[in-house]
Structure 1
Amino acid sequence: MSASTPQPDRSVRPADRRVSARIGAIAESATLAVDAKAKALKAAGRPVIGFGAGEPDFPTPDYIVEAAVEACRDPRNHRYTPAGGLPELKEAIAAKTLRDSGYAVDASQVLVTNGGKQAIYEAFAAILDPGDEVIVPAPYWTTYPESIQLAGGVPVEVVTDETTGYKVSVEQLEAARTENTKVVLFVSPSNPTGAVYTRAEAEAIGRWAVEHGLWVLTDEIYEHLVYGDAEFVSLPALLPELADKTVVVNGVAKTYAMTGWRVGWVIGPKDVVKAATNLQSHATSNVSNVAQRAALAAVAGDLSAVHEMRTAFDRRRRTIVRMLNEIDGVVCPEPEGAFYVYPSVKALLGKEIRGQRPQTSAELASLILDEVEVAVVPGEAFGTPGYLRLSYALGDADLAEGVGRIQKLLAEAR
């Protein structure tokens, strides 16, 4: 399925159009909207448990916070710095990339951005022209199609489901490819499903992209959150011949519990990174120097903090999968990465629950929030109705209580 770039109504005088067609077509982030509603209800005294936001419940490690405190005291950080990022942070990101994924890059191939979302938008803006198509496997994170369309591109969705572990095949990608295809989006581990591609599967997709001269944008934000026998694989490290047409986006948010610090980055060919840096120089200029200094401490440090978080996430992963699969009508595959589950609730749609018959997963999510005060995100937000996304990046007690409430509610389905 393709979406087209919105066109303004030419029958209306330009001065009378209050919001541009391009910006007016952008949908609100569904995950942030659900999280905001849950927090508002909680602030009003309601015992809401939120599974909406992909945000670790752990505090940012102390040594990172201390680096920020020291940065505040240093007058160097009270001034403008290079738009593309502190040189020492770019060097550290290049070193971290080699350490963690085996991909050797130069600091000149790195752009430091205001979080992962800016990295994604600027990457697409740097490589897409109007009408260029981007193959987007679904379920997808809500921001990808919006960033593509804002950059003038056309997202082409390729739908997967639980029967394939939410992973797309080369055959599906080839069926979606047209003469206008420029980029394929590759995300492993995945948000919202937690799917992780095997080395062989990733290599097959990478070789297909090389064969057809396509670009790849790969989001590696969950690189350290894999479980069991699953393995994170970086495509440009796996296939060096792909590197000249690969853009990697990443950041500190998930690995170091730094969602609020807003530091991400783009890694890619020098000309693309230079173009994206030029864009950022006019859009936002440099990322906050204090946040950059904190990020420097994070990426230059060891991974002991993330190992502790991953252990907790793994425990919660097994608990939430077990509890959800105990509900009649719910099918929840076990995710191998990130910190989300993506259960199918298609068998529950149309059934009566407390006098209502939700026909869509959006209606079911609303019912769950209204009746038992648990916030989840419906599959409509990720391009695949009939599912719910729950983040298990919250405390063990809240997780058990929240899913327990859902179990009791859905047990009433008739």
Structure 2
Amino acid sequence: MTTRNATRGPLLAIGAACLLAGVGGAQAQQTTLTIGTVNNQDMIRMQRLTPEFEKANPDIKVTWVTLEENILRQRITTDIATKGGQFDIMTIGNYEVPIWSQKEWLAPLENLGADYDVDDLLPPIRNALSTDGKLYAAPFYGESVFTIYRKDLMEKAGLTMPEQPTFDFLMEAAAKLNDPSTGVYGICLRGKPGWGENMAFIGDLARSYGGNYFDANWKPQFDSDAWKTAVGNYVKVMQAYGPPGAAGNGFTENLALFAQGKCGLWVDATANGSFVANPKESTVADKVGFTQAPCGIENCPNGGANWLWSWSLAIPASSQKKDAAEKFIAWATDKKYQELVASRDGWSNVPPGSRTSLYQNEKYMSTTPFAAETLRAINAADPSKGPDKPYVGLQFAAIPEFAGIGTAVGQLIASALAGTTSVDQALSAAQAQATRDMTRAGYIK
């Protein structure tokens, strides 16, 4: 009896030690999440705040791959299509979600937590990121488009910005604001080729002149009068009053130019507001005004000059780290994250355009000069199909072929902007290219 007890004691001690070591080993193990993201200011801020997430979730380590917009799209598209597994979380938009979810490339977000409040997401953004009622990406921020302008330069030129400007008015204003001798250019618009770069603006502008990407029978419309007028005016005003090298300037480059006081006018994403109006980011923060995006012709056909976009976080369906990935996505897109940003950088720097509650917050609305215009533009954006528009989307067409077509057409228009070809030649080539691609894909019989 004594012998059995004596033997059992050391065995229990050894077993307990092994159990404790096992528990300690489990605690020491970390799940590493690799996130592919775009190099804009909101996402850079999120990276800066990520240690707060890691502190609350010591079993999860986050690493970032930050890329220029066009390169990001190429990398994540290749990775998810080939199930490469390079990324555990991808930064994508409402172009990819309906296409990739139907291909079953994305995991639905079903465990974001009881207090996440999916119903608080702005309806246009939530709908754009859902398929059959399931959310496949959570919006980090949402955006439409508006006109940003220098109030001081407009006043000096004797101009008053209309609530709903026309593109003709912006062209006239650009001529009066242009003063290269002082480093100020009349207007800055996207010129860098890409379906989500220059084509986001140009496609939206063409729509405000009455054009779409395709007609009801999927025939491309790049040789239509609406496209010829829109692209002709865009090239004309940018060559005369835009900054040098405009064909290489995208969202990021124009943001830097405007923040440095080098642009009189800029038409671009509503998400820019928190940067151009922030004295820490912009040298002209106290001189900035915001109004609606320009219409090409009176009454703004095709639903107005709005676009709809959301940089959002999604999980590849092949991911083996879905639980950890959903934890991070919930943290980064929740109301509490907005409060964290506000506590560090002020309410006007909170990522905009994703949650209804933000626009019911007096602190945000009273300190954010672009908030009301952002909400108006997002709520006015209707990307649904129509009798003469067989696709979902405003500044893009939500079909797999559009990425290739949009990028190819964007390169042709960038060549016209750079002066190496004419607008008519560029659009004729665009029409031929798009027609071949749509015929090959079976849209045109």
- Calculate the TM-score normalised by the size of structure 1: 0.23
Q: Which has the larger radius of gyration?
A: 2
